[in-house]
Chains A and B, each alone.
Chain A
Amino acid sequence: MSDERESGADRREAALRRVRKFVATYVQKGKYELYPEPEVVENVIQGLTDNLVEHGRMYCPCADVEESKKKGSDMVCPCKPHHEDIARQGYCDCALFASPEFVAAERLRRKK
């Protein structure tokens, strides 16, 4: 029993490392930044990890997983609509990735 628990914890830890690496790489190499609130970002990362462990893919935690599964890879992070969402509102629907302009504006707003 404790071995099973340990193995489950190990699996989640490995999944969490994979998600963190993906997110860091995507931001490093891509045109977006992280949503400018670390607590929000961390929650999304945990949600992506849950979905990776439970469903085998990084389905967006802000979308219904069963519905997402019907859409192939469209709702696997980085999801298909995230470019459009960021262009429209400055951040993706899960509030993980954001445009540099949105991040800069938020930082400025908080300084005031």
Chain B
Amino acid sequence: MALEINASCPPFELPGTDDKTHSLASFEQDLLVVVVSCNHCPYVIAYEPRLVALAKEYGPRGVGWVAVNANDATRYPDDGMEPMKVRARERGFPFPYLRDDSQAFVRALGARFTPEVFVFDKQRKLRYHGRIDDNHRDESQVTSHDLRNALDALLAGKDPPVLETVAFGCSIKWK
């Protein structure tokens, strides 16, 4: 069951591809975008350039970003820490890319797919949850920029125009 709007972000303390441990408290920005992600999913791969661009655009405006991969790396070795390090380096992720090996954090979020985004406010209450936009195949055909709309609204002190959307992508590979 997904985290409800206005619920608190579950705490986490997870290792990143930068060899550092990151916790919820280590993000001090006004907003925090948690992207449940992975290495092998074609939907994620399609969205990665958009996520990197969004993070670079909104980072200086007080939006923290973190990507978390919880996929079972035994069944999907491409989702292990070492391949994650390669991906983060190759794609130039401007945000920490964390490994949730126990899957506890991603389970607490109630995420089901990759990519799936959760936007938390300064008090780390959930304000938007769902998809990044409505077209993973072709960015030029996007008609609903859901994540961008949510961030713009929250940065302007308003509620997101849409609080929840149905995320689509690959199912999370549970253990």
Contact = CB atoms under 8 A, between A and B. Distances in A.
B1 A93 contact: no
B174 A89 contact: yes
Interface stretch (B4-12, B97-105, B164-172): B164-172
Interface string B152-175: 000000000000001011110110
A62 B174 contact: no
Interface residues of A, number: 19
Contacts of B43: 61-62
A89 B171 contact: yes
A62 B166 contact: no
Contacts of A95: 112-113, 171
B1 A62 contact: no
Given A50-B137, A62-B41, A65-B42, A39 B170 contact: no
Contacts of A89: 171, 174
B40 interface: yes
Given A50-B137, A94-B171, A37 B42 contact: no
Contacts of B112: 95
A111 interface: no
Interface in A86-112: 89, 91-95, 109
Given A95-B113, A109-B1, A62 B137 contact: no
Contacts of A63: 40, 42
B42 A64 contact: yes
A39 B171 contact: no
Interface of B: 1, 40-43, 45, 112-113, 137, 166, 168-171, 173-174
A40 interface: yes
B166 A39 contact: yes
B173 A93 contact: yes
A49 to B, nearest CB: 10
Contacts of A94: 170-171
Given A62-B41, A64-B42, A40 B170 contact: no
A39 B165 CA distance: 10
A43 interface: yes
Nearest to B137: A50
A39 B45 CA distance: 21
Contacts of A64: 40, 42, 45
Interface in A37-56: 37, 39-40, 43-44, 46, 50
Contact of B42 (A46, A62, A91, A92): A62
